[in-house]
Amino acid sequence: MRTSGGLRRVRNRRATLGVLPIAIVLSLWGMVGCASPGEPVERRSPIPTAITDLSAEQSGNNVVLTCTIPRQTVDEKPLQELPAFEIYRAIHPIVQGLAARPASTLALLVTIPSAMVATYAAGGHFRYVDSLTAGDFLPNHQQSVADYVIRTRASTKKESAESNRFTLPIYPAPLPIADLSTRATQSAIVLSWSAPHATLTGDVPQITDYRIYRASAQTPASAAAVNELLAPSAESAANLGAAAAAGEPASASPQPPQLTSPLVQIGESPIPEYRDGDVQEDKTYVYSVRSLTQTPGKPLESADSNLAVTTLHDVFPPNAPTGLIATPVPAEDSLGAHIDLSWAINPETDLTGYNVYRSEKAGVSGTRLNPQLLPTPAFRDMNAVPGQSYYYTVTAVDRTGNESVPSAAVQAGLPTAAGSPAGNQATP
């Protein structure tokens, strides 16, 4: 049987046990809630710094936007990942030399999610291609300008301030050349194409020039694969922008060829033809041509033409040797009678030697007399039979193995013991 004093002691112990957990919880809450005295806790969403170096340039019927990717917040803290990009645009007419901008704000052109920004990034810079359509140009050939700004955001709650506004005039460029072709000659690659006759909005202005671009590929490749690498079309750029707007990953392009040089301008031509003489054998070249029209302030290039891929092979033989002479030489001392042949040196720089042919019938090439290519324009026929008439011809061979047509034939022979004559006459 418990006494009243015992009951009081039990109740006090229970009350004490009930208080202790509350004290422990409060102590732990204080440890978690306070990092250190006086240190503020970051609670608001990060806001990227505003872009200040936005620039744009028209290339063909595209406007290429570039800027530096923000890496810090307005509080000078590093961004944990690439921010999303929101690109805004407005197109206005030019009235009496000034852009007539309405009071309305620029319209959102495209949003590129954070996960896709790396697709448009290189070396810390962002690059986006805005593909203009016929509807983006004002009717009746009105001159117009395009305004661009960019905002970025690291969260859905708050975007950055606007970038600097970049304004540039836009003009419909000639449509890309579609029939660029190449033809190899012995010393050059000849390009030809048709002049463009239209823009997105109508007739093309006068073409002032054509610019020729060339790249080198390590191995022969199809033009389609090269196009994917070097000449992103307006359609592909639009598809990429649409995928970005929808938050979808870009589709993989075909495996491109390995290039040994970038696509660079190598010349200009006032007519739709160009001769590239600075080429090497067994190298693969990739060509593009852009039309040039004059706009106020500076010329405007079209987009790249179809790309022509050419590998230069030496399939051109040297010229036939000339000046062939055949001289009968009688026996003397230990050297038997023979026929000496000589001819003029061929002018080709890639020549490796000559072949001599002998026949007993005019108009027939006959048999080759030298087992190895002759390095010099001379040969001694020690197997001529006295009293037999022969027809000699000579060919030239280059380092690729191309052999020329035969030279003009020369008739010659050794006299018999009775002294029958031996000829030395060229046969037509």
Is pLDDT of 63 > 50?
Answer: yes
- Structure confidence at residue 42 (pLDDT): 53
**Distance separating alpha carbons of residues 210 and 200, to the nearest angstrom:** 19
Mean pLDDT for 9-33 is 45
Instruction: Please say whether the beta carbons of 191 and 78 come within 8 A.
Output: no
Q: Give the CATH H-level superfamily of domain 181-246+256-311.
A: Immunoglobulins (2.60.40.10)
pTM of the shown model: 0.63
Q: Which pLDDT tens digit goes with each residue over 396-417?
A: 999 888 999 999 999 999 998 6
- Structure confidence at residue 246 (pLDDT): 43
Instruction: Please say whether the beta carbons of 242 and 212 come within 8 A.
Output: no
Closest CA to 202 of 113, 121, 137: 137
- b/e code 376-401 from CB counts within 10 Å (16+ = b): ebebebeebebeebbbbbbbbbbeee
Mean pLDDT for 367-371 is 96
Least reliable range by pLDDT among 170-179, 219-228, 247-256, 388-397: 247-256
Band (39; pLDDT cuts 50, 70, 90): low
Q: Give the contacts of 193 (CB within 8 A, at least 6 positions apart).
A: 177, 179, 180, 181, 210, 272, 273, 289, 305
Is pLDDT of 131 > 80?
Answer: yes
**Do 181-246+256-311 and 325-427 share a fold?**
yes
Mean pLDDT for 253-278 is 82
**Distance separating alpha carbons of residues 423 and 413, to the nearest angstrom:** 6
DSSP 239: H
Closest CA to 310 of 276, 284, 289: 284
The domain limits of the chain are 55-170, 181-246+256-311, 325-427
Was domain 55-170 assigned CATH 2.60.40.10?
yes
Fold entry, domain 325-427: Immunoglobulin-like (2.60.40)
Instruction: Determine how β-strand 121-122 pairs with β-strand 84-95.
Output: unpaired
Name beta bridge partners: 358. 367, 392
- Structure confidence at residue 342 (pLDDT): 97
Is pLDDT of 15 > 70?
Answer: no
Is pLDDT of 103 > 70?
Answer: no
**Around Cβ 236, how many Cβ atoms within 10 Å?**
17
Band (86; pLDDT cuts 50, 70, 90): very high
Is pLDDT of 384 > 80?
Answer: yes
Least reliable range by pLDDT among 105-119, 208-222, 271-285, 287-301: 208-222
Rounded mean pLDDT of the chain?
82
Helices and strands in the chain, H and E counts: 3, 25
Q: Which residue has the higher pLDDT, 126 or 135?
A: 126
Instruction: Please say whether the beta carbons of 125 and 53 come within 8 A.
Output: no
- Structure confidence at residue 350 (pLDDT): 87
Q: How far apart are the first and last CA of the chain?
A: 150
- Structure confidence at residue 282 (pLDDT): 81
Q: Which pLDDT tens digit goes with each residue over 146-158?
A: 999 999 999 988 9
Band (333; pLDDT cuts 50, 70, 90): confident
Q: Which pLDDT tens digit goes with each residue over 275-295?
A: 999 998 888 899 999 999 998
- Structure confidence at residue 255 (pLDDT): 43
Q: Which residue has the higher pLDDT, 33 or 315?
A: 315
Q: Which residue has the higher pLDDT, 177 or 221?
A: 177
Closest CA to 114 of 73, 145, 70: 70
**Distance separating alpha carbons of residues 355 and 377, to the nearest angstrom:** 9
- Structure confidence at residue 220 (pLDDT): 54
**Distance separating alpha carbons of residues 152 and 82, to the nearest angstrom:** 9
**Distance separating alpha carbons of residues 110 and 29, to the nearest angstrom:** 46
What percent of the chain stands above pLDDT 70?
74
Q: Which residue has the higher pLDDT, 259 or 118?
A: 118
Mean pLDDT for 114-118 is 95
Encoded tokens for 27: 């102590």
Mean pLDDT for 358-377 is 95
